[in-house]
Copies of this chain bind each other. A is one copy, B any other.
Amino acid sequence: MPDNPISQSGQSLLFLTDEQLRKGIEAMFFAYRGFTADPDRILADMEYGRAHHRAIHFIHRSPGTTVNNLLSILGVTKQSLNRVLRTLIEDGLVESRVGKQDKRERHLHLTEKGAQLERSLSDAQRDRMRAAYRAAGPVAVAGFRQVLEAMMDQDLRRSYDTLKDRGA
């Protein structure tokens, strides 16, 4: 029975059919649009974009993080990040402090103004996430997290876990 999606052990593998996988792929595509929609709307009114949101999020998450650390989390070139950081610093949302041990490093912090924007962005994003979590329930949420974690590249998984542990 070569077409029967049942494993040798007798466990159903229907969730691994190409059709199911394609549905998962499309779900990721459409859901990610929703995921970014609310912050994008807020940022569209300002002179900022999604790249600024990401920088602000992770600076808020890890105050005092270095540029290099941020670079590896965001996965962009230092030139791209620098352009974003420069505008955030110029506009007084982010503060760059020379390192004490290592003066080559710059430690990044949100100013009060930056923290305000961070709050309005993450409030909007959390509201949607909360509604989705509430609609789906705790069991679904656990599964959601499991699948997403299994989908990450190894190095990103490490970044994710580091961030995860720190706040736990």
A residues contacting B by CB (< 8 A) are 12, 14-16, 18-35, 37, 54, 61, 75, 122, 125-126, 128-153, 156-157, 159-160, 163-164, 167-168
**Distance, CA A144 to CA B75, complexed state (A):** 25
The distance from the CB of A65 to the nearest CB of chain B, in whole angstroms, is 14
**CB–CB B141/A30 < 8 A:** no
**CB–CB B156/A15 < 8 A:** no
6 residue pairs bridging A and B, Cβ less than 8 Å apart = A16-B130, A19-B167, A20-B133, A27-B149, A31-B152, A144-B148
**CB–CB B160/A26 < 8 A:** yes
**Residues in B whose Cβ lies below 8 Å from that of A125:** 25
**CB–CB B130/A139 < 8 A:** no
How many copies of the polypeptide does the oligomer hold? Answer: 2
Known: A138-B15, A144-B146, A147-B144. A157 touches B54 (CB 8 A): no
**CB–CB B151/A147 < 8 A:** no
**Residues in B whose Cβ lies below 8 Å from that of A139:** 139, 143
**Distance, CA A28 to CA B151, complexed state (A):** 10
